[in-house]
Structure 1
Amino acid sequence: MRVLGMLSGTSHDGIDLAVVDFSVHPGEHGDVLRARLGEHRTVPYSDDLRADLVAALPPGRVDLAQVCALDVRIGQEFAAAAASVGEGFDLVCSHGQTVFHWVQDGTVRGTLQLGQPAWIAEATGVPVVSDLRTADVAAGGQGAPLVPVLDRLLLAPFLARGASAAALNLGGIANVTVCAPGRPPRAWDTGPANALLDAAAGGVDLDGRLAAAGTVDRAVLAELLAEPYYALAPPKTTGKELFHPGYLRRFSHLATADLVATLTELTVRTVADALDGVDVVVASGGGVRNPVLLSGLRARLPGLVVSDELGCPADAKEAVAFALLGYAGARGWPGNVPSCTGARGERLLGRLTPGRSPGNPSWSPPGTSRWPVSLDLSPAG
Structure 2
Amino acid sequence: MIVLSVASGTSADGLDVGLVDLSLDDGVVEAEVLSTSAAPWPDGVREQALAVLPPAVTTARDLALLDAAVGQAVAAVARAACEDAPVRPDLVVSPGQTVHHEVVGERCLTTLQLGQPAWVAEATGLPVVSDLRTADVAAGGHGAPLAVVLDALWLAGGDVRAALNLGGIANITVVGPTGAAARDTGPANCLLDVVAERVTGEPFDRDGALAARGRVDHELLARLLRHPHLQPGAGTSTGREVFSAAWLDGQLDGQPWPDVQATLVELTAATVADAVLHARPVEVVASGGGTANPVLMAALQRHLGDVPLVRSEAHGLPADGKEAVLWCLLGFLSWHGVPVSTGAHPARVAGRFSPGRRGLALPPSTAGTPSRLRLRR
TM-score higher than 0.5: yes
Q: Aligned partners of 2:4 and 2:50: how far apart in 1?
A: 26
Q: Is residue 309 from structure 1 mapped to residue 305 from structure 2 by the alignment?
A: no
Q: Is residue 321 from structure 1 mapped to residue 326 from structure 2 by the alignment?
A: yes
Residue 90 of structure 2: aligned partner: 90
Correspondent of 1:70 among 44, 52, 66:
66
Q: Aligned partners of 2:373 and 2:136: how far apart in 1?
A: 24
List per-residue Cα deviations over 1:201-240 (Å, max 9, x = no partner): 2230141001110000011111111112111436511011
Correspondent of 1:279 among 256, 278, 282:
282
- Report deviation, 1:110: 0.6
Residue 34 of structure 1: aligned partner: 30
List per-residue Cα deviations over 1:173-202 (Å, max 9, x = no partner): 000111221x23111100000011111222
For structure 1, which runs of at least 5 residues remain unmatched after alignment? none
Q: Is residue 362 from structure 1 mapped to residue 365 from structure 2 by the alignment?
A: no
List per-residue Cα deviations over 1:20-39 (Å, max 9, x = no partner): 1011345xxxx332111112
5 Å matches for 1:1-381? Answer: 1-26=1-26, 31-85=27-81, 86-87=84-85, 88-156=88-156, 159-160=157-158, 163-181=159-177, 183-202=178-197, 203-233=203-233, 236-250=236-250, 251-276=252-277, 277-301=280-304, 302-339=307-344, 343=345, 345-356=346-357, 358=358, 360-364=359-363, 366-379=364-377
SS at match of 2:325: helix
C-alpha contact 2:21 2:32 (8 A) present in aligned 1: yes
- Report deviation, 1:255: 0.6
C-alpha contact 2:152 2:179 (8 A) present in aligned 1: no
SS at match of 2:93: strand
- Report deviation, 1:46: 1.9
- Report deviation, 1:147: 1.4
C-alpha contact 1:352 1:363 (8 A) present in aligned 2: no
TM-score by length of 1: 0.92
List per-residue Cα deviations over 1:20-76 (Å, max 9, x = no partner): 1011345xxxx3321111121111112311112211112111100010000000000
The aligned amino acid for 1:37 is V
- Report deviation, 1:361: 4.4
Q: Aligned partners of 1:59 and 1:291: how far apart in 2?
A: 31
C-alpha contact 1:101 1:111 (8 A) present in aligned 2: yes
- Report deviation, 1:145: 1.1
C-alpha RMSD over aligned residues: 1.5
Q: Aligned partners of 2:148 and 2:105: how far apart in 1?
A: 24
- Report deviation, 1:154: 1.6
List per-residue Cα deviations over 1:73-127 (Å, max 9, x = no partner): 0000000010111111000111110000022244211110000000000001010
- Report deviation, 1:252: 4.7
C-alpha contact 2:196 2:210 (8 A) present in aligned 1: yes
C-alpha contact 2:100 2:241 (8 A) present in aligned 1: yes
C-alpha contact 2:97 2:114 (8 A) present in aligned 1: yes
List per-residue Cα deviations over 1:280-329 (Å, max 9, x = no partner): 21100000000000011122323221001212111111111111011001
- Corresponding pairs, count: 363
Q: Aligned partners of 1:15 and 1:368: how far apart in 2?
A: 30
Task: Percent identity, please.
Answer: 48
Q: Aligned partners of 1:148 and 1:109: how far apart in 2?
A: 20
C-alpha contact 1:127 1:353 (8 A) present in aligned 2: yes
List per-residue Cα deviations over 1:127-182 (Å, max 9, x = no partner): 001111111111111111111111012211xx32xx2111100000000111221x
Q: Aligned partners of 1:170 and 1:107: how far apart in 2?
A: 24
TM-score by length of 2: 0.93
Change beyond 3 A, Cα 1:378–1:368: closer
The aligned amino acid for 2:168 is G
Q: Aligned partners of 1:290 and 1:63: how far apart in 2?
A: 36
The aligned amino acid for 2:99 is V
The aligned amino acid for 2:293 is N
SS at match of 2:349: coil
C-alpha contact 1:331 1:369 (8 A) present in aligned 2: no
